[in-house]
A and B are shown apart, each in its own frame.
Chain A
């Protein structure tokens, strides 16, 4: 499996918006609308925050939104808050019937 490409780190001030990209290929991100996003705080289990590109599970803040264009998916966090400081991973179903995760992005709230 090849990991999807994410920026290693993204930062922003409280109240700002940030966007994390997740770049794959036609065999994963670009080929299916089965991209999900996970938030992981240090020492904790990952938590699903976006599924099928742009859907939010119940209980997840509407400050989190997802989109996709071609082979790149994106997660936007609006109104950045201190509690959003965490690692974020994208995941995509692939043509090999496997799941590739992204390389992970550390979000820092300045």
Chain B
């Protein structure tokens, strides 16, 4: 059974940093691209970043480019999102998901809440 489980969310002050993790199981992790998607409270979905299976290709939304870094450790079946220079508008539930085919997000975790507030 495919499972992805996010962790690392919490309360952080504006300008601070946080690293999210996403532990995957039930599939050959290195064979799949992975992605982060966020959802601000009461709002819609916003794609954040995507990383190829090998880790060689990265993609970012304009809203996070230069502040967030996506990475993975295929030996640990884990995806990461390093978030720096956080802003109040980054407050959201962050989901990770397995990428199926071309930019289709198949299996999603339950999300981890990031709150940026002073």
Contacts and interface: CB of A to CB of B under 8 A. Distances in A.
Interface of A: 1, 3, 32, 34, 36, 38, 40, 44-48, 51-52, 57, 89, 91, 93, 97-104
Given A36-B105, A47-B108, A99-B103, A1 B44 contact: no
Given A1-B61, A38-B105, A48-B100, A98 B44 contact: no
19 contacts: A1-B62, A34-B102, A34-B103, A38-B45, A40-B45, A45-B111, A46-B95, A48-B100, A51-B100, A52-B102, A52-B104, A91-B105, A93-B103, A98-B59, A100-B47, A101-B37, A101-B46, A103-B44, A104-B44
Contacts, number: 70
Interface string B33-57: 0010100000011110010000000
Interface of B: 35, 37, 44-47, 50, 59, 61-63, 95, 100-106, 108-111
Contacts of B109: 45
Q: Which secondary structure characterizes the binding site on chain B?
A: strand
Given A45-B95, A46-B45, A52 B61 contact: no
Nearest to A3: B44
B44 A93 contact: no
